[in-house]
Amino acid sequence: MTKPSPDFGLHPVGRFLLPLLERHDRSRVEIACYAEVLRLDPLGERFRQLADLWRPTVGLSDADLAACIASDGVDLLVDLAGHTAHNRLAVFARRPAPVQASWLGYANTTGLSAIDWRITDAIADPPGVTDALHTERLMRLPDGFLCFGPPAPAPPVSPLPMLANGFVTFGSFNALSKLTPSVIAVWGRLLASIPGARLVVKALGLADVPSRRRLGAALRTAGAPPGSVTLLPGLANPAEHLAAYRLMDIALDPFPYNGTTTTCESLFMGVPVITLAGDRHAARVGASLLNRVGLDQLVAGDADGYLAAARALAGDPRGLTELRSGLRERLLRSPLCDARRFARAMEAAYAAMMEAGA
């Protein structure tokens, strides 16, 4: 099993990949990593140690890399980047392996006929609903297509802010590009409907003053009362980033492009997430993640349901306190963090894809 990627390191792809590689049954799977990485960080070094075969690929032409993979006798080639930066999809187009698949790093079809399979699950991609949106056949894992490796070290879960503040604080630490006009409109309605409610948004792009002004103005136009929104720049330090979840009572998932790492981090820090499930993979990742931890009641089917779920949670401080205090342990005991179980499911998927062929 081979994985070409530019993201072997401190990157969301690396965070979700590491638990799988650490728990693979090495009597069944040999791991070859084709690393499109200029400089290895500590997590990248860990990937290099885990690989049976580690090949740096920066500077190799697509033809040369394809020839190298074919010469290595790879049985299954798994793309982790899709159409994101520094991908090597042109290598897959040359079909250096008999079976090729896509997983993890791109929330959509690759559109390449040379990639045979896309690894997902039945909530992110319901059978008969999203198949037609893919050029690949869909291999659905039974307990979710992701495995979250909890960050370490991490601060403890903080007390519920609303108990001290006297008002509810919603929050989002997602990328600004996911905050569409539809998201802003719903968040504005939510803030206008709950007296004293606040919203904290933290993102790397908010270090830019014009970006802060534009987002603040958009939220006010959508109905957010004056003084109800706090906009913060991103934090480079991972521990400080996680500690910032102490600012919010309830996280709001963007739509139609849901969060992934942010949702898992939020749950890990004791903050429940409200999501809206849409009609395609990128819009259903939140539903998949929340299902794995038994929080289907926080998955809405439309904007009104999203608002209702957020208001119901905000109106139950006692229930929210209980949920927060036990949410980290609930996550850690769930299939979402069961790396051994996930590795067995992925190994079964490898076997099924290779048996079925291209």
Query: Which residue, chain included where needed, has tokens 């992110």?
Result: 124
pLDDT at 195: 97
Is 4 a residue whose pLDDT tops 80? Answer: no
Domains of the chain in sequence order: 2-147+338-356 (3.40.50.11380), 161-336 (3.40.50.2000)
* Residues 226-239: tens digit of each pLDDT: 999 999 999 989 99
Per-residue pLDDT band at 5 (split at 50, 70, 90): confident
Is 6 a residue whose pLDDT tops 80? Answer: no
* Residues 283-298: tens digit of each pLDDT: 999 999 999 999 999 9
Per-residue pLDDT band at 214 (split at 50, 70, 90): very high
**Residue 331 DSSP one-character state:** H
Mean predicted confidence (pLDDT) in 187-196: 98
Helix (H) or strand (E) holding 267: helix 261-268
Q: What is the 3-state secondary structure (H, E, C) of 196-230?
A: CCEEEEEEHHHHCHHHHHHHHHHHHHCCCCCCCEE
Is 358 a residue whose pLDDT tops 80? Answer: no
pLDDT at 64: 98
Rounded mean pLDDT of the chain?
A: 96
How far is residue 191 from each of residues 10, 39, 231, 252, 282, measured CA to CA in Å?
35, 44, 15, 12, 25
pLDDT at 2: 64
Q: Is 35 helix (H, G, I), strand (E, B) or coil?
A: strand
Is 357 a residue whose pLDDT tops 90? Answer: no
Q: Is the peptide bond before 153 cis (omega within 30 degrees of 0)?
A: yes
Distance CA 79, CA 297 (A): 33
* Residues 314-334: tens digit of each pLDDT: 999 999 999 999 999 999 999
List all residues 6 or more positions away from 88 whose beta carbon is below 8 Å from its beta carbon: 4, 34, 36, 57, 62, 65, 79, 81
Contact between residue 136 and residue 110 where contact means Cβ atoms under 8 Å apart: yes
Other beta carbons within 10 angstroms of residue 356's beta carbon come to 12
Contact between residue 77 and residue 51 where contact means Cβ atoms under 8 Å apart: no
Q: φ and ψ at 335, to 5 degrees?
A: -60, -25
Per-residue pLDDT band at 122 (split at 50, 70, 90): very high
List the strands of the sheet with 299-300, edge to edge: 229-233, 198-203, 169-172, 250-252, 273-276, 299-300
Is 353 a residue whose pLDDT tops 90? Answer: yes
* Residues 66-116: tens digit of each pLDDT: 999 999 999 999 999 999 999 999 999 999 999 999 999 999 999 999 999
Mean predicted confidence (pLDDT) in 4-32: 92
Supply the pTM of this predicted model. Answer: 0.96
Percentage of residues in the chain with pLDDT exceeding 70? Answer: 99
